[in-house]
Amino acid sequence: YRMKDDGKNNYTIFKPIPNSGIERLTLENSIRKALQLNEFVLYYQPKIDTLTGQIIGTEALVRWNHPTLGLIPPGKFIPIAEETGLIVPLGEWVLRTACSQNKIWKEKGYPPMSVSVNLSSRQFSKHNLVESIKEILLETRIDPQYLELEITESMTMNVEVAIEVLGRLKELGIQICIDDFGTGYSNLYYLKLFSIDRLKIDQSFVRDIMTDSNDANIVATIIAMAHNLGIDVIAEGVETKEQLDFLRSQGCHEVQGFYYHPPLPAEQIEQLLLKTLSMKPTSQR
Ligand code: C2E
Ligand code: MG
Ligand code: MG
Ligand code: MG
């Protein structure tokens, strides 16, 4: 596999994914321990409606707050967690934490925001995914329409299982988004098979929108296709005003990226909510 190096500038240097069996085993054991010690933490990146400037939701992005190595980005441990199956308990923790946090923000009186959670194929093919999500929804009492699951087309999943699981998730009222849209090989096939609520245009297309006319055309086409299919569309990795203007001119009004905000700890999201809405939270408890 190849790991992603998205946003790696933000992090302290960490060794690349180890190749030797022993190092991998060590990392596997460390991840297991980190789960027990509660060393994982969620950052949240705001999703912005550019028409209103409002935060319409956040994407939960996991980090490992390592006691000596500092904040470790997901690209360094998610692949190992996927290989070893540790992604299942880790993914459950992410879902539960993201839903609880979203509920807390709602209870504090902020306007409704969705929370998007990334899902690995390993979680997806697990039969208890639907059950565990049901449980988390009951536990946290969040409105299912405010939970969005991000799946990627690179997922090596059994199509029949996927159709069944996605169908059951849709019955729960959850939103489904195809992440990194355009980078996989079966994108359009997915659209045909599954009822998808949203496409997220991969940041690799957004990056060179202003200099590469192919990328600009691809992005414009994805946006038009989403509109024609009645699917929402969001762009990730928006870093400049020019990129934003182009996306808006093509009719894409939901964006995520450093131009607005990087992923932030929950407390900073709350400060942002307070600032941008210039309102005081009214507790409804
Ligand atoms: P992703 O879901 O496509 O997330 C977007 C990545 O782009 C994030 O990197 C985010 O920090 C980064 N990003 C956001 N805005 C910008 C921008 O304007 N410019 C650039 N260059 N990058 C931007 P991050 O947090 O390192 O996550 C990397 C990947 O790790 C995610 O890609 C996702 O596939 C995976 N991941 C993160 N959290 C989880 C999780 O809880 N579960 C699973 N299964 N995967 C996760
Ligand atoms: Mg994502
Ligand atoms: Mg993405
Ligand atoms: Mg991406």
ipTM of the complex: 0.98
pLDDT of residue 7 exceeding 60: no
Give the per-residue pLDDT at 10.
40
Atom 23 of ligand 1, nearest CA residue: 237
The average pLDDT across 274-280 equals 71
3-class SS at 140?
A: helix
Question: Residue 192's pLDDT band (boundaries 50, 70, 90)?
Answer: confident
Asked if residue 236 has its Cβ within 6 Å of ligand 1, the reply is yes
Asked if residue 61 has its Cβ within 6 Å of ligand 1, the reply is yes
Atom 37 of ligand 1, nearest CA residue: 61
pLDDT of residue 251 exceeding 60: yes
Any idea what the Cα angle at residue 258 is, between residues 80 and 274, rounded to 5°? 105
Asked if residue 96 has its Cβ within 6 Å of ligand 1, the reply is no
Prediction pTM value: 0.91
Asked if residue 148 has its Cβ within 6 Å of ligand 1, the reply is no
Distance CA 25, CA 41 (A): 22
Helices marked H in the chain — which ranges?
A: 21-36, 78-84, 87-107, 121-125, 129-140, 159-172, 187-193, 203-207, 213-229, 241-249, 266-277
pLDDT of residue 155 exceeding 80: no
72-83 pLDDT, tens digit per residue, is: 999 999 999 999
Asked if residue 118 has its Cβ within 6 Å of ligand 1, the reply is yes
Nearest to 151 by CA among 112, 204, 209, 193: 193
- 41-45, 118-122, 230-234: which range is least confident on average? 118-122
Distance CA 261, CA 280 (A): 21
- Radius of gyration over every alpha carbon of the chain, rounded to an integer in angstroms: 19
